[in-house]
Each structure stands twice: as C-alpha cells, then as structure tokens.
A and B are shown apart, each in its own frame.
Chain A
Amino acid sequence: MAVKDKTDLLQGTFSMLILKALSLGPMHGYGVGQRIMQLAEDLLRVEEGSLYPALYRLEERGWIESEWVTSENNRPARFYRLTRAGRKQLQVEEENCRRFVLAIGKVMQTA
C-alpha cells in the first residue's frame, strides 16, 4: 500500500473511536481520550497530541460540534458532542470496520 493509504486507515479508525466515545455523552477532549482507554480496558494508548487535530477535523466535517463550558474545576473547557450526521456516520463506520475485521479474520484463519 502506498504511504498515504496507511495513514488514512489509522486516521479513520481513530475518528471512529472518538465518535463512539462521544456517543455515550458529551465530553471535553481530555475526557474523550480517557473514555477510549477506559472502554478498551487499557489495551489502547491514545496519543494525546493527535486527539485535538482529530477532534477539529471531525468538527470541520460536521460530525461533532463544540462549545465552551465551565467545567468541574471551574476552568473553561471545550465540550464536544455528537451531531445527528455524526451519529449516522458512526453507524456507517461501525459497519465498515466490522466487515473489514471479518475479512481479515477469514484470511488469517486459513492455517
């Protein structure tokens, strides 16, 4: 695969995880990272630096939206929330991912 495709795939998966995390409720960026790691039962390490560009990119495409809110420790934080389009996109990506995993599984199973 050409270099570009590889980063695309990774980026796509990451986006899907973020969308999934947000589907459980609005959260700020830090919270999203925590939630993903929590859901993955610590099997994943989220690169915190790339969280925010990914979040911004998702917002550009209209799948999430954000607003500034005063958080628990009285500091302003940007909270993200899934949009309706985002919810639909999540379903699409879930389906694609499932099919992909299935395909890989089949190939790898042949002994």
Chain B
Amino acid sequence: MRLLRNLFRRVRGLVRAETIHREIEEEARFHIEMRIEENIRRGMSPEEARQDAERRFGNLTRVKERGYDVRGGRWLETLWQDLRFGTRMMLKNPGFTLVAIITLALGIGATTAMFSVVNSVVFQPLPFHEPDRLVMLEEKWLPRFPRFETSPLDFLSWKAECQSYVDIGAFVPVFFNLSEGDQPERLAGARVSANLPGLLGISPILGRGFTAEEDTAGANQVALLGHSLWQRRFGADPQVIGRTVRMNGVAITVVGVMPPEFRFPIEAEIWMPMGFTPEEIKSRNNHFIWAVGRLKPGVTPQQAQSEMDLLMPRLQQNWRGQVVSFANHYIGDVRLTLGVLLGAAGLVLLIACVNIANLLITRGTTRQREIALRTALGATRGRIVRQLMTETTLLSFLGGASGLLLALGTIALVRRIPLPAIYRFEETSLDLQALAFTFLLAIGTGALFGLSPALRQSRPDLQDALKTGGRVAGGAARTRIRNVLVIAELTLAVVLLVGAGLLLKSLWRLLDVPLGFNPQNVLAVAINLPQTTYREPFQQAQFTERLLDRLKGVPGPEAVG
C-alpha cells in the first residue's frame, strides 16, 4: 500500500516538479524566518539575525536539491541522463554496439520469423467446423501410387455403403476462364459435390449453397463466388445473386458468396457443382477426384480405416483406400522440414544469447575502472546499477527492434514466394507470442550479464580497481565464465554449420536431378481451352495444329512443338 502511495507520489512529483520545488522553498523560508525571529528575540539586530539564520541552515541550494531528490522528483531526469550517457557510450564503441545489435537482431528476427511460419502452417486450426473430425479418403496402389485420387464410382460406393461417416463429399481443383467484361481472367477454383461446404461447416454469407439437383451434369450451371473474387470483380455488389457470368464459354448463374476465409482447396476462388458426366462415371478407374469425410461422433479414424479395408477389395482389384486426417494430408510432408528449420532458428537464438553474454562480460571488465571512479566520487551502488541497467536495456531494445524489422521483412518475403506445396505458407503472419518470448529471452540475457560489472563491486577495493582496472582480466571466476561461454558458443556454431551444410547438400542434390532435356531458353505455356467449344479431342488437336502453324510464322522461337 505504501509502495503504491509512493509510486503515485513519484508520478505526481514528475508532473508537478515545480510544485515540489516551490514547497521545499517555502518550508526552508519558513524555517529561516522562524530562526530570524528567534534571533531577534534574543537580541540580535535584524541584519545579524538573518545572517546567523542563513548560516545555520546550511547551504540552501544543497538542502533544496537533497530534498527534491528524496521526494522523488528526480528520477525522470536521472533516466534521461542515463539514456544520454548510455547512447554516448554506445557511439564511442561502435564495434561493440554494432555486433551486439546485429547479434540480437539475427537471434530474435530469425526465431520469430520461423516460429510465425510454423504457427501459421502447423498450429493454426483449419477454418472448418470441428476440423479434427474431417478425414481425406484417398486411394493407394503400392508401390507406385502411395497417395492417389479416387474415382467417382468409388466415391459413390463409399457414400452408399460406409457407415463411419456423417457424410462424404468430393472435390476436384479446376481452372476456370472468366470472360466477364473486357478482362478475361484465369481463376483457380474447384468442382465440389453439393454437400461439401455443409460438410466442412462453412455457409455462404450471401445467397445459398448448391442443391442436390444442381449436382447433376447439365443442371450445374451455377457457381459460388469466393469473397475476394466478389470484391475484386463484382465490387462487393450485394445484388450479385442471380447475375450470370460467362465461364469457359457457358453462362453461369451466381447463387452465393462464400466467407473470406474459405479458399478450399488451395487458393480456390470459385466453385461449381460436381455434376459427374456420363464419361466420368463410365469406368471405376477414372481417378481424378478427392473425397472428404466427416467421421460420426465416437468413430475413430482407425475404425474407419478398418471399414475401408474390408470394403475396397469388393470394389477394386488393385486399389486400396486410406483414411488420412486432414492435417496430415495437407501438412504431413512438410512437418519434418519445418521442425528442422525451427531447431536451427532456436540454435541461432541460443548462439546470439551466448554471444551477447560474452560481449557484455568483456565490456564489464573494461568498465571496472570507470565504475570504481564513480564509486569513489560518491555514487551509490543503486545508482550505478540503475545506470548500467538503462544502458543494457537501451541496447537490448535497439537489438529487439532490429530483430522485429528483420522478422517482418522475412515474413513479407515469405508471403511473396509462391510455395503451393506448403499449405497456408502465404498466410504467415507475425506470431506475437514468439516475438514476446524471444524479446524477453534476449533482453533477459542482456540484463543478466550486463549487470555483472556492477554486482561485482560489493566490496569495492577501490584503490586496486582504480590503479589497474581495464587491463586486468578480472578475477578467476569471471575468466571461467567467459571460457564456458566461448566454448558453448563455438559448439553451437559448429553444430549449426554442420546442419546447414548437410541441408544445403540435400538441396543441391534435389536441384541437380537431370530433367531429361535441356531447359535453356525453352518456354512452356499452359493453355486452358474452354470445354464447351473444344469438347472433343479432335477439336483440341485442331486448335493445337492451328496454334503451332501460327507460332512457326512468328520470328523468335527456333522451334515449336
């Protein structure tokens, strides 16, 4: 309670420094006046009285200063003084300052960035209703096809016969040509079974989902718009429901708009109902769709898998089914890589901390002389500790801020690089918890070791320190600590180097796989032909021939094929 009152008074003292000065002055004046009256009563002349009174009071300025100090109005000025001094010291030793800041920045920045990526990719829950009940139903035919799509007929059989699921839906990623207005655009989208959005637990924010009738070939000329598409091409028009747009040469009616976080599967912006065509369900071996199931409450993935194992031999000769958790399907492969990278970042942070500690302890030794001098001049230990702490905190802050900038820069870079292999890579955003943690760790290390020179002055052997301070190594204990730190740092650095070297080697090998042809100066173009105009394969072949003819005439390419 008293602490609170004192704190309150100090803050108030800050704001009303003038008042405090004035009050102290008043009190001093009062005292002196009383003394003067007393003196006059004793028979002194007014002049003598005043002189005597002022003399007895002592140095007025000094009293006022001490009073002001105790009343606590001084701490902000002290802080400002410390900051200025700290900055001056840092500028005087640019090498030390730079190394310290860079070390902190790398440690904090790298770890935070890595953590943010891992957080977005692995830990953020998928934006579906109860995502841990969702499973992907894949097919496999070992050893050539460990994970493969399923076929419409298999999907329909599963829907009819499997008991483990509340419902099963299907989807296939497709590209659409939107030829609305004067800017044709190629959109990533998907054909989905009508029950899929409901299965995932996402409802449209405008309009409605697909009906079962629309999920048939010929009747599926409807579409759901993605949120960003709706904003981008349709100006977020609330009257967009019922509008028709031309896609792949066909008039499609918009029936709904999906919420912003729905981009399933990867980066889809527009969805149409599946509507299996007769050719698609002609053969059971037409594997091109993915199936999603929601497990019934109480059913484990293992139970579902057993059911699948019993069912598949009846449907297929060579293919078997597998039940894979959603998280596993999307993130599984990448987890190992991310784990390794995270470990590496952690090592960097550790090295950074050890480095900082070492730097600070070394600096502490060189500053012993200065500290001894200040103690001899009358500085209390508290004052010195405060000053060192301010300096260290300032340094840590600068390092931390640089680290934050580095992390933000790295994350911005990460978001730009299209790595579709890693789901949600592009959604990486700064993980505040990671930032806070690394910040505190680095600052804590700084504080701990930055105070070492002050704490060692418990019994100031001033003469000794004044004479030799700055040159002496600083005692056996300190040297031992320094040795331990150096060894630790070297060890960690070597581990990191070796790990990095190995990773680089693997990456090199990957890139070096011969493609089978010389890719120099070869341009590959993917063309999306609208299905309505070029439905038949012979039409597609005709188009290709015409295209090649035209291209051959164009100057530039050496050969076309």
Contact residues of A with B, CB < 8 Å?
2, 28-30, 33, 47-53, 56-57, 60-62, 71, 73, 75-78
Contacts and interface: CB of A to CB of B under 8 A. Distances in A.
B57 A29 contact: no
A67 to B, nearest CB: 12
Contact of B30 (A30, A33, A51, A60): A30
5 contacts: A29-B31, A52-B66, A60-B72, A73-B33, A78-B26
B6 A48 contact: no
Nearest to A58: B70
Contact of A52 (B24, B56, B59, B72): B24
A61 B70 CA distance: 11
Contacts of B459: 2
Given A48-B31, A73-B37, A77-B30, 4 more contacts: A30-B30, A56-B67, A60-B70, A76-B26
Interface string B12-35: 000000000001101110110111
A53 B59 contact: no
Contact of B66 (A33, A53, A73, A76): A53
A50 B58 contact: yes
B31 A30 contact: yes
A73 B38 CA distance: 13
Interface in B34-49: 34-35, 37
B35 A30 contact: yes
Given A75-B33, A77-B30, A53 B67 contact: yes
Nearest to B460: A2
Which are the 9 A-B pairs with shortest beta-carbon distances? A49-B58, A56-B70, A53-B66, A30-B34, A49-B63, A30-B31, A62-B2, A48-B57, A77-B30
Interface string B314-328: 000000000000000
B71 interface: yes
B550 interface: no
Interface in B57-99: 57-60, 62-63, 66-67, 69-72
A75 B63 contact: no
B137 to A, nearest CB: 73
Nearest to A53: B66
A47 B62 CA distance: 13
A52 B6 CA distance: 18
Nearest to B60: A49
Nearest to B59: A49
B30 A52 contact: no
A30 B39 CA distance: 14
A31 to B, nearest CB: 8
Contacts of A51: 31
A62 B33 CA distance: 28
